[in-house]
Structure 1
Amino acid sequence: MSVAFENGALVDAVAFARDALVADGETPGEHLGARAEGEYAATHYFAAQVPGYRGWQWCVVVAGAPDSAELTVSETVLLPGDGALLAPEWVPWVDRVAPGDLGPGDLLAAPVDDPRLVPGQIDTLDIDPIDADQVGQVSAEIGLGRKRLLSFDGRADAAQRWYDGEFGPDSAMARNARHSCGTCGFYLPIAGALHGAFGVCANELAADGRAVSAEYGCGAHSDVRPAAGNGSPAYDAFDDGAVEIVTLPAAPAADGAAGA
């Protein structure tokens, strides 16, 4: 057995371990304890006084050689202790970006293997087959048009998102509307496969410029009629001048009061 371990020099080498941290330019706090790591090493723990690392501790591994009283430092490292303030689990940026994060001048590239997009020469079935004037994606095959197009999955994802969103049929506005967007004069149907389900609102006082479901609706529908008279859209004006004021005769006095 080593002389260093027999004399407890490894576990008792608190000052030696602290000096190793100070030599690295650190300012260790109180000694939190030491633990023997086999016959020839011990680990010392010190409170870390490092801004932003609350609850962390310095770990210094002190080692000794058999039949020698000389000590060496194997490594120093900063480790989290119980209740330490830890950084949240790292999440790739592509999974962190949320709607509304894109600002002026920012660049946000779609992944090369993005399932929402396919090469421009693939027929995405986005053209209405009834319309004989439309030729699906031929322009891309001869080097014209867009390089990538929405895939079926990408189109389905967008449709579901719009349908479930603020301008879908289940929103509070739509549930309280008497008419749907599909019958509104301000409704501009979009082209392609989503033609029958979505459009763009052209009413500046409603969902102007937004993609809305044909089943969405609001109180600014083109079929809403103006109110009669000067009242609100829901009620006619109330003319209190047409009310006849009637004066009622005084009530007869009670018997007791008449006897008095």
Structure 2
Amino acid sequence: MIALPTRAGKPDSALAKAVDLARSTVLEVAEPDEVGEHLGADAEGERLVTHRFACARSGYPGWYWSVTLTRAKRGKDVTVNEVVLLPGEDAIVAPAWVPYKERLQPGDLSPGDLLPVEDEDPRLVPTYLVGDDPLDPPTDADARAQVRRVAEDLGLGRVRTLSREGIDMAAERWYAGDGGPDSPLARSAPQSCTSCGFLMRINGSLSESFGVCANGNANDDGRVVSLDHGCGAHSEVKLARKQQPLPLPDHVHDTLSEDDLEIV
């Protein structure tokens, strides 16, 4: 049986008894073998009742036919309001639609693909409002205004730069990702990146939290890592004596000649 929604109130008796009319209405849009047993009738409102029939159509398990009937006040004629095929609780339905831009994941873009940024993207602000780095130390207001006017006149610099929200979103994403302190690689690391000689510092507000790995032998080479991240390729890592490879034995020189082999 299909679990159906319940409605408060008692169904109109004349409409509730019109099961045959409801079934014949469904048969106008479905084949006889696609309509199953009558599952019940529920009141949708005053003189408004919906009949439900099991759906036996191939490919629609858990669905049901819904026929809504109504009649005029003090009227005896029953009329059909609508007939539809609806999913039950156990029905197979398509997943909720997600816009293409929200479905994109890092690595989905192929050569030649374009992903335009909206004009009102909260991660970006016009550069002329905040300078090239919105978190640069504040300078004299007149000096900043003069720099902006010159940059505008010469067409220099970027049109937009990261907003505070954009920087915070990037920091949260990096810190929670593979380059953060909670990745399996970091949890098993002997030391953190902050003391590693291969860490390249960055400028700006994130310099106290992140850097770039420059160890060509490390998994994170060329990637942003948090200072409390870490891996086994730390510049100061040392192997314990028992972890060091066994020394190779001295080479053995073969002094046998062909004559010696014949004697043997």
Report the TM-score when normalising by structure 2: 0.62
Give a deviation string over 1:199-223, Cα, whole Å, max 9, x none.
2222222111211123333222334
Distance 1:89 1:36 in 2: 29
**Are 1:35 and 1:42, in contact at CA under 8 Å, matched by a contact in 2?**
yes
Give ranges in structure 1 of 5+ residues lacking alignment: 241-260
**Which segment drifts farther, 212-221 or 49-58?**
49-58
Distance 2:200 2:100 in 1: 36
Alpha carbons of structure 1 residues 108 and 37: separation in structure 2 relative to 1, 3 Å: closer
Give ranges in structure 2 of 5+ residues lacking alignment: 1-11, 250-264
Given candidates 65, 70, 83, the residue that maps to 1:76 is 83
Where in structure 2 are the equivalents of 1:59-208 lying within 5 Å? 59-63=66-70, 71-81=78-88, 83-84=90-91, 96-97=102-103, 99-100=105-106, 102-104=108-110, 107-123=114-130, 124-127=133-136, 138=148, 141-142=152-153, 143-206=155-218, 207-208=220-221
**Are 1:61 and 1:75, in contact at CA under 8 Å, matched by a contact in 2?**
yes
Q: Identify, as 1 or 2, the structure richer in helix.
A: 2
What is the aligned-residue identity percentage? 46
Alpha carbons of structure 1 residues 63 and 194: separation in structure 2 relative to 1, 3 Å: closer
Which structure is larger by alpha-carbon Rg, 1 or 2? Answer: 1
Distance 1:173 1:115 in 2: 33
Alpha carbons of structure 1 residues 213 and 61: separation in structure 2 relative to 1, 3 Å: closer
**Which segment drifts farther, 37-46 or 204-213?**
37-46
Given candidates 223, 232, 246, the residue that maps to 1:237 is 246
Alpha carbons of structure 1 residues 209 and 39: separation in structure 2 relative to 1, 3 Å: closer
Give a deviation string over 1:144-176, Cα, whole Å, max 9, x none.
332221112321332233234332345443454
**Which segment drifts farther, 174-183 or 21-30?**
174-183
Given candidates 219, 233, 246, the residue that maps to 1:220 is 233
Q: Name the SS of the counterpart of 1:32 in structure 2.
A: strand
Distance 2:47 2:192 in 1: 80
Alpha carbons of structure 1 residues 41 and 144: separation in structure 2 relative to 1, 3 Å: same
Given candidates 16, 25, 34, the residue that maps to 1:20 is 25
Alpha carbons of structure 1 residues 11 and 121: separation in structure 2 relative to 1, 3 Å: same
